Amino acid sequence: MMVQKQVWHRRTRYLIVTQNAATVQLELYKEPQDPDGVTAFICCLWVNEEERKHGHAGRLLDRAEEIAAREGHKRVHLEWCSLDSPQWVLEWYLRRGYEEQEFGHNSSLLVKELNQIK
């Protein structure tokens, strides 16, 4: 697994990649991005179709959550959209401890409380 850290003016982005199998991005903001207090956002979790069902997504998500917790974030958010992902993907996130914070017409904002890692 490769982790690349990119530091920008008001945010830090982590690109986490497994070789030819899966990727995820983690955005960590210095200040909340909306009224819900979003400071850690996971996006673009993708697994190559031939590599699905091998645990890549879970390992990437675990790593992103661990980084966010170590950097002092209390929760992490992500968006699930029914136009881009099937229902089983939402159910997978829910089994991993994410809760639906709000629900739009085709999407859900999911949030997970993180254990602080030192």
Residue predicted with more confidence, 116 or 86: 86
> 58 in a domain, yes or no?
yes
Cα separation values, 69 from 26, 51, 76, 110, Å: 12, 27, 9, 17
Stretch (H or E) spanning 45? strand 40-47
Helices of type H across the chain = 56-70, 87-95
- The one-letter amino acid at 78: L
Residue 118 within any structural domain of the chain: no
Cα gap 11→73, rounded to integer Å: 13
Locate 59 and state its tokens: 């390992």
Number of domains within the chain: 1
CATH number for the domain harbouring residue 61: 3.40.630.30
Q: pTM for the complete prediction? A: 0.89
Q: Is residue 49 part of a domain?
A: yes
Evaluate whether residue 27 is within a structural domain.
yes
29-57 pLDDT tens trace = 998 888 778 899 999 999 998 888 889 99
Tell me which residue range forms the domain holding 101.
2-113
3-15 pLDDT per residue, tens: 999 999 899 999 9
Position 64 in a domain:
yes
Question: Looking at residue 52, what is its pLDDT?
Answer: 86
Q: Which of 82, 84, 3, 18 is nearest to 51 (CA)?
A: 18
- pLDDT for the residue 117: 55
